[in-house]
Chain A
């Protein structure tokens, strides 16, 4: 009796002991092999952590999913210089909200800062344009592998459900050389809120007054027709699965996965494909306000692809005032200098470049000028 009783109580404590032992050994193992960025919190109680050794720092960021591959690649490239960059692609809105509470050092945001965003910041904040990504109109029509041309009003009618089949006269008149089947058009749009939807609907509102008044633009709109899919990958998969489907997909995704997309008419009247160079052209010559809050939708440049989204890196003018340690601020400066300089070489159409359009040199210069204005507790970084 005693023995059995002992066994029973032993089991519970055995489970607990086992769990504790595993946890302890994991902790020891992990601590022993953790990377150089061992985090110690700075005295002013901040989220941004740093190491006291030479010039190394950990930068925490969050925000846009479009820019995630860029920041993650730059993080990998800068590791040898002692910088650890943790970027959480949770969405532009949360990135801004995190920055407003100084929970991250920098935020990635596709749309420029709204007045309400700036008002919620703890101090003056800077936005730096970092890269550009086109929004392709990808479709699935077995007979039409290339050469499809669409213009703004037709796109608006397709995505609002007014044009229902591929051989509609409106599409035919833009594509006299193509034989278009009578397949029904299935519109695929994003079901989750996203900056990509924002860019696409901004373009549609620009080119179609009916769209602007009935549906409008935003990170999420009331689509009158079509099916919703979550994230780029969802839209891409839905387009691939359904014959006759058309959807809007980020350029990086479309290029990496071999999608078929249409050439879209830009503001100068030319039908342009979403190549990297045509995407860069959209940033060239666009009006740049003082706070660098540009918009590259429907750019005036005659070579530009008309549906291009920009992505910003947003941070405080004086990070130290919001709790960052001086080494984190120095790390941030190193990161930003890289971002507007050598980092831009990692973007482009080359086989080992990330499929995003880099900054035109004039814009990079403006970014650097704004960077020079950043301070740490009043003194220059």
Chain B
């Protein structure tokens, strides 16, 4: 790859470039900055309007909106702990299942797959992003959910001694936390995989070749040379996937069981913040306290995503800081470790 034919204008050296020549630079810089400011202003305005619409419900219910457990529409009582718990559980399941599979898929496609099969297989994986959420939900509730009930029942009864993961086998329905998490995992797979693929494709060949030259097996090369380099980018992809999982509405509505209670088992019915908005807003619009409560649910989601993102970014920063400081040294140490292993 080479830089484009950027030539020095005339025979002036860069140091003597006139202000006129610096103008495009300035324009670009200030243009982009202005755009970023505009977008930030828009997002802040969005946040403010959201707070404004939630105010009625939040002032009435206070903290019990998030920590109380009683969502009763007919009595206009809105305490949404069950919703928060459901959102966290389903998103956690989605990440735990979806991210490893997505990264594994990306690794396979970039590192191990024969070159000719790479593009068609990539397109297939990306096709998962083309399916509308409502189709995922319907497929989940009509096909996947019922088919998996016997498996879930077996699992719940066999492992009933494990808290949360086991037990509750007697009343399993097609819609529950696990199915919702599984459907979400499938939905975030294309996002995480596509971004991971982009990241993996740009790992410098020198890192990989160094590891291989020192005698690493393919998997060791992946583990030592590729994954550490790709970690920040992959985490970025995982964060996008998490965002999708936390905020997904229609699909979750159809497969979570929609019971505003806190389930004690992974195969219990539950509810989520996004699902409740989708389920109830159509009828709530002319009841101010109800619609305000639904906006407040959106606001809680906003804050939840913020907290999770802060934690994730902190994790990544720890990793990359170490890497940037001792980047080449780490590579050398890794290669040496691999090499010494080769000589055993």
Contacts and interface: CB of A to CB of B under 8 A. Distances in A.
A65 to B, nearest CB: 8
B282 A91 contact: yes
B36 to A, nearest CB: 21
A264 B2 CA distance: 81
26 contacts: A90-B282, A92-B283, A93-B285, A94-B281, A94-B282, A94-B286, A97-B291, A120-B286, A191-B253, A192-B278, A193-B282, A216-B74, A219-B73, A219-B74, A220-B73, A220-B280, A222-B72, A222-B260, A227-B257, A228-B257, A228-B258, A228-B269, A230-B253, A234-B254, A238-B174, A241-B146
A230 B142 CA distance: 12
A5 B5 CA distance: 7
A193 B280 contact: yes
Q: Chain B interface: which size bin?
A: 20 to 34
A36 B278 CA distance: 34
A354 B5 CA distance: 71
A290 interface: no
Given A192-B253, A220-B74, A93 B2 contact: no
B251 to A, nearest CB: 11
A192 B282 contact: yes
B196 interface: no
A117 interface: yes
A169 interface: no
B292 interface: no
Given A192-B280, A227-B269, 15 more contacts: A1-B2, A1-B4, A91-B282, A93-B282, A94-B282, A116-B287, A192-B279, A219-B283, A221-B72, A228-B257, A229-B258, A230-B253, A230-B279, A237-B141, A237-B142
Interface in B160-187: 173-175
Given A222-B260, A227-B257, A193 B4 contact: no
A100 B4 CA distance: 60
Interface string A85-100: 0000011111011101
Nearest to B70: A222
Interface string A236-247: 011001000000
Contacts of A97: 285-286, 291
B259 interface: yes
B75 interface: yes
B237 to A, nearest CB: 23
- A-B pairs, 9 with minimum CB distance: A91-B282, A218-B74, A191-B258, A193-B283, A97-B285, A220-B73, A93-B283, A228-B258, A5-B4
A218 B285 CA distance: 14
Nearest to A3: B5
A100 B286 contact: yes
Contacts of B262: none
A28 to B, nearest CB: 27
B146 to A, nearest CB: 6
A217 interface: yes
Contacts of B299: none
Contacts of B72: 221-222
Interface string A203-241: 000000000000111111110000111100010011001
B129 interface: no
A195 interface: yes
B294 to A, nearest CB: 10
A230 B250 CA distance: 10
Contacts of A238: 174
B284 interface: yes
B283 A220 contact: yes
A336 to B, nearest CB: 22
A12 interface: no
A173 B105 CA distance: 61
Contact of B283 (A2, A94, A116, A222): A94
A93 B286 CA distance: 5
A315 to B, nearest CB: 15
Contacts of A234: 141, 254
A251 interface: no
Interface string B271-310: 0000000111111111110010000000000000000000
Interface string A80-123: 00000000001111101110100000000000000011001000
A194 interface: yes
Interface in A321-336: none
Interface string A168-206: 000000000000000000000001111100000100000
B74 A217 contact: yes
Interface string B1-32: 01011000000000000000000000000000
A312 B71 CA distance: 29
B269 A222 contact: no
Contacts of B73: 193, 218-222
A241 B147 CA distance: 12
Contacts of A215: 74
B50 to A, nearest CB: 18
Contacts of A192: 253, 258, 278-280, 282-283
